[in-house]
Amino acid sequence: MRIHIFGASGSGVTTLGKALSEELNIEYFDSDDFFWLKTQQPFTERQNPEIRNTSVSEKLHTTENWIFGGSIIHWGENVFPAFDLIIFLYLPSELRMERLRKREFERYGDELITHPERAKKYQEFMDWAKDYDHNTGIANRTLKAHLEWLSDIDTPLIELSGDYELPQKMDIILNQIKQGNLLAK
């Protein structure tokens, strides 16, 4: 089974992906692990797209069952194997932005206030994340772009829109997987 989960930053993709991975006993891969270089300050240096695509393609083509979390809409053609299921998460902007603020402060603490460069990166990230719903041109990963990408996909899809608790999401997805006989793959 090959599952792709995506949505805006802060929508719960990683949390859901890891929980499903544990429940289904299949590996979870996060797009951030391929998109960003491992640096002392995480999420600051992008991986070369050619290296990123080769790395993710090799990993996913040589692993039988997996869950891949994160947006891939601009990664290129023929990078990913066919998905058996796509899960799209949408969380209203206000809730998502509050989650992101909390996460960033848990990650970086007072540095977001006391360190000028970290404060600047934080503000840029928050502006980028907010643009998901507003599509003002800051980001190329927007709700509009995600919906356009989904309109071209011919794969079973579960859309979860709203503030579901993790157990609710898990129940919905696992029931759909069982009904669609996707567990046999």
Read off the pLDDT of each residue in 54-61 and give the average, rounded to a whole number. Answer: 95
Contacts of 5 (CB under 8 A, 6+ apart): 13, 16, 17, 20, 67, 68, 69, 70, 86, 87, 88, 89
Residue 97 lies in a domain: no
> Where is pLDDT greater, at 185 or 128?
128
Could you give the CA distance from residue 111 to residue 14 in angstroms, rounded to a whole number? 24
The β-bridge partners of 4 are: 68, 86
Q: DSSP letters of 129-165?
A: HHHHHH--SS-S--HHHHHHHHHT--S-EEEEES---
Residue 103 lies in a domain: no
**Following CA atoms 178, 172, 5, 106 in sequence, which dihedral angle do they give, to the nearest 10 degrees?**
-140
Structural domains in the chain (count): 1
pLDDT of residue 40: 81
Phi/psi at 86 (5° precision): -120, 135
pLDDT tier at 185, thresholds 50, 70, 90: very low
Residue 11 lies in a domain: yes
Residue 167 lies in a domain: yes
Read off the pLDDT of each residue in 124-143 and give the average, rounded to a whole number. Answer: 87
pLDDT of residue 182: 62
Q: Is 8 exposed, middle or buried (0-12, 13-18, 19+ CB in 10 A)?
A: buried
Residue 128 lies in a domain: no
pLDDT tier at 181, thresholds 50, 70, 90: low
Residue 15 lies in a domain: yes
**Among 34, 72, 28, 26, which Cα is nearest to 56's?**
34
- 33's enclosing H/E stretch is helix 31-35
Tokens representing 91 are: 């969380």
pLDDT tier at 159, thresholds 50, 70, 90: very high
| CA dist list (Å): 113 to 99, 101, 104, 132, 161 | 18, 12, 11, 24, 33
pLDDT tier at 183, thresholds 50, 70, 90: low
**Among 50, 16, 53, which Cα is nearest to 31's?**
53
Residue 122 lies in a domain: no
CATH of residue 179's domain is: 3.40.50.300
pLDDT of residue 175: 93
Residue 72 lies in a domain: yes
By residue range, what is the domain housing residue 71?
A: 2-92+141-184
Identify the three-state secondary structure at position 74: coil
Read off the pLDDT of each residue in 14-26 and give the average, rounded to a whole number. Answer: 97
